[in-house]
Structure 1
Amino acid sequence: MSAAREYGLDEQYEWARPPAGGWTADDLDRLPNLPPHTELIDGSLVFVSPQTEFHMRMMRLLENALLDQAPADFEVFREFTVEIDSRNRPEPDVAVVRAGADTGARRTRLRSEDVVLAVEVVSQDSVARDREVKPGKYAKAGIQHFWRIEEDGGLPVVYAFELDPATSAYGPVGIFHNRLKLTLPFLIDIDLTAINRRGRL
């Protein structure tokens, strides 16, 4: 039985009316006709606005740099959902995951315990989610590192955080304007001014 019929809805409009208690992480795979990159936050579907050029370039810079610099025991994912719990399945813009976490080519989500870094590039429609809602959920799920990236004059500013196990909340590591240099979760050195250059930098 399809999810639509299970909830007594017309399949074409199934996602428009949530069931009592909201949607679940599994529903995100079953609902038909969802827009790409739909997230689940507190049982509600969250749709993304059209991507800006800054957002696209920043994700490309990060993905390329992290793939080049990550040791073999880490993998880099772009725009791939993470299951926090049954009512939350956010989609970080970029995530660094333990390489041994691979559960097969058909998987549609990561487990939060396998994610070591979640990155959110802030958009106009996602400010509150990226600054408050999603970091809180990543921290409670035990994800050790979180970066929030904002645009300032066409260039990125990276706000880096690390999980404090005593409080299950993130503490600031630093604010990076032109160059991002960190030792955790591995040695990282990214020229943030390269965002508008072509190629793998």
Structure 2
Amino acid sequence: MTAEPLPTSSWPVPPPDGYTADDLDRIPDLPPHTELIDGSLVFVSPQKYFHSMAVDLLVMNLRQQVPEELRACREMSVVLNGRNRPEPDVMILRAEAVTEEAEETGFRAEDVVLAAEVVSPDSEERDRKRKPQLYAEAGIPHFWRIEKGTGRRPVVYVFELEPATRGYVPTGIHHDRLKLTVPFDIDIDLTAIDRL
């Protein structure tokens, strides 16, 4: 069986110095959830059901527990610098970053308190290494990495920014329950994913 060649003429051609964070808002017809990493566009593969359930579980619970001065959101991009605009699966950000009209297509790194990534097979390297490095360098205080554990249950790896090195240090691994006091009091029953 022979595959049809892909029509390359409709693919965006990168500028000589790569794309910028502003380009994501200007390039027409980009696939949903396109990210900018190191000046290159990253197109994501279709997500697995686990990914969707894990994001839903976290966002649903975080929205119920987040203090008034913060907001929880899903799958919105964050401008880290001119060449990096990834899209964390879950974010906690300062409430004042969201306008009354809610027309934002992304947020600034300084408004993000927590970035979380649910690891997918096609994004393991980015979610485990490059994105946490970029988030830390941008000064985002908290990072969570969510991996698939036993069955459909998530395992949440929690990291906090160490300001002197601008790198993340691990502060916990959570299997059945995610109970934290930073960035605010959080208590999430991770086994509730079985009911989604």
Deviation at 1:100, TM superposition (A): 1.3
Deviations 1:161-188 (A, max 9, x none): 0000010000001000110010000000
| Unmatched runs of 5 consecutive residues or more in structure 2 | 1-7
Distance 1:16 1:93 in 2: 24
Match of 1:89 among 85, 88, 92: 85
Q: In the alignment, residue 62 of structure 1 is paired with which amino acid?
A: L
Match of 1:60 among 56, 59, 63: 56
Distance 2:102 2:187 in 1: 30
TM-score (structure 2 length as normaliser) = 0.92
Q: Which residues of 2 match residues 109-120 of structure 1 at below 5 A? A: 109-120=106-117
**Residue equivalent to 1:179:** 177
**Residue equivalent to 1:77:** 73
**Residue equivalent to 2:5:** none
| Unmatched runs of 5 consecutive residues or more in structure 1 | 1-11
| Structure 1 contact 14–31 (Cα < 8 Å) conserved | no
| Structure 1 contact 15–34 (Cα < 8 Å) conserved | no
Match of 1:49 among 42, 45, 52: 45
Q: Residues 13 and 33 of structure 1: is their aligned pair in 2 closer, same or farther, counting only changes over 3 Å?
A: farther
**Residue equivalent to 1:137:** 134
What is the SS of the residue equivalent to 2:73? strand
Deviation at 1:16, TM superposition (A): 2.6
Match of 2:97 among 98, 101, 106: 101
**Residue equivalent to 2:167:** 169
**Residue equivalent to 1:190:** 188
Deviation at 1:106, TM superposition (A): 2.1
**Residue equivalent to 1:16:** 12
**Residue equivalent to 1:148:** 145
TM-score (structure 1 length as normaliser) = 0.90
What is the SS of the residue equivalent to 2:71? strand
Deviation at 1:87, TM superposition (A): 0.4
Further displaced range: 148-157 or 162-171: 148-157
Deviations 1:25-60 (A, max 9, x none): 111111111100000000000011111110000000
Q: Residues 171 and 129 of structure 1: is their aligned pair in 2 closer, same or farther, counting only changes over 3 Å?
A: same
* Structure 1 consecutive aligned stretches of length 4 or more whose deviation exceeds 6 Å: none
Q: Residues 13 and 102 of structure 1: is their aligned pair in 2 closer, same or farther, counting only changes over 3 Å?
A: farther
Deviation at 1:196, TM superposition (A): 2.5
Supply the RMSD in Å over aligned alpha carbons. Answer: 1.3
Distance 2:43 2:130 in 1: 15
**Residue equivalent to 2:156:** 158
Number of residue pairs the alignment of both structures matches: 187
**Residue equivalent to 1:39:** 35
